[in-house]
Structure 1
Amino acid sequence: MNDSSNLTQREQKRLSPDSDAFKRSAPLVAAYSEPVYHDVRIERRVIIRITPTSPSTRQQMLAQLPRREMPTRFEEKKIKGCIPIKDIAGTQPAHPNRLLLFMHDRRVLSVALERNCSARDFYSGFYVEKNKDGMICSGRDRLQSRTGSSCGVAKLSRLVAWQQ
């Protein structure tokens, strides 16, 4: 036998989804219903800012070098692999598409940017998104200038005094 046949017409109207009683009890029904789960994904991005070195910092670094005749030419020696972001002390634009990186251990590195990039865009430093390994790698990472341009790292080199 059907349960609705035992109910009077008035009771059926009172229990219908359109009734006021049903609408008032909706929060109670929702509380006893099965919970709905949603996936929540939290991501954390770390952006690191590399600032230009101040002239006083460069002079200080050079003042601590032994006094001797400095060779006037430097050559680039390719670096295999990547460099740690935390070792960068500052930056300065160099050639049309090169940036100089001054490292905390007094090395000077050169970053070749992609062909269509200008080092002048990086006059006030750059941002780089920190990867899990904390390194900047050629062919993988992109540098974001404070003016808005974004350039890939094409090549990393170490500047070495040229011996005659």
Structure 2
Amino acid sequence: MTSVAIWNLLPLLVGLFGAQPGSVGQSVTRLIVQDEVILRIPVQPRPLIRNFQWVEKKGPKCIPAGSIQRALLSGSEQVDFILGDRTRIRAQFDEDCPALDFYGGFYLQPEDERLCAHRDAVHSRMGGSCRIERFKQLVPKFRD
């Protein structure tokens, strides 16, 4: 193979290595349709080994939607958001929220650039939705 052929194949090789299977679809996707912002949030699997537990503290009324990096399922009635500054916020749903399948990810449609309790909802990819009742800030407590 000549050096010219190698240089011609270089963009193809970079593209192949740049799209690793674990990294595809792992970021928040933002879509704007007729002045309505829709955020698709990927759900990350729970870590198997934990040296700490999460302690709930009083949380904010709203969080900036643009700072959400990913989410973790923490139960059938709650989802944990990981924000850009590495803080962890738990969204707790209404009591009448049906058990929804959030494993494939979910959607948020905030009215403004903030996701607020008692106002916004989490929408399953299957069509159901649950309104956010409250936010709790999670603080790690290391086990002895």
- 1:70-110 deviation line (CA, Å, top 9, x unaligned): 4x332111213210111111112112211111112111211
Quote the offset at 1:126 in angstroms.
Answer: 1.4
Pairing 1:144–2:123 present: yes
Q: Map 1:53-132 to 2 at 5 A.
A: 53=44, 70=51, 72-118=52-98, 120-132=100-112
Distance 2:98 2:74 in 1: 10
Opposite residue 50 of structure 1, the aligned amino acid is I
Distance 1:54 1:96 in 2: 14
Aligned-pair Cα RMSD in Å: 2.6
Opposite residue 71 of structure 2, the aligned amino acid is T
Assess if the C-alpha contact under 8 Å between 1:95 and 1:119 holds in 2. Answer: no
Distance 2:110 2:120 in 1: 9
Q: Classify the secondary structure of the residue corresponding to 1:116.
A: coil
Quote the offset at 1:130 in angstroms.
Answer: 3.1
Assess if the C-alpha contact under 8 Å between 1:99 and 1:111 holds in 2. Answer: yes
Larger radius of gyration: 1
Q: Which has the higher strand share?
A: 2
Distance 2:81 2:126 in 1: 19
The share of aligned pairs that are identical, in percent, is 29
Unaligned runs of 5+ in 1: 1-42, 59-68
Opposite residue 144 of structure 1, the aligned amino acid is H
Q: Classify the secondary structure of the residue corresponding to 1:73.
A: strand
> Aligned pairs, how many?
109
Q: Classify the secondary structure of the residue corresponding to 1:121.
A: coil
Instruction: Please give the TM-score of this superposition, normalised by the length of structure 2.
Output: 0.64
After TM superposition, the runs of 4+ consecutive aligned structure 1 residues lying more than 6 A away are none
Q: Map 1:36-47 to 2 at 5 A.
A: 44-47=35-38
Opposite residue 134 of structure 2, the aligned amino acid is K
- Among candidates 22, 34, 48, match of residue 39 of structure 2: 48
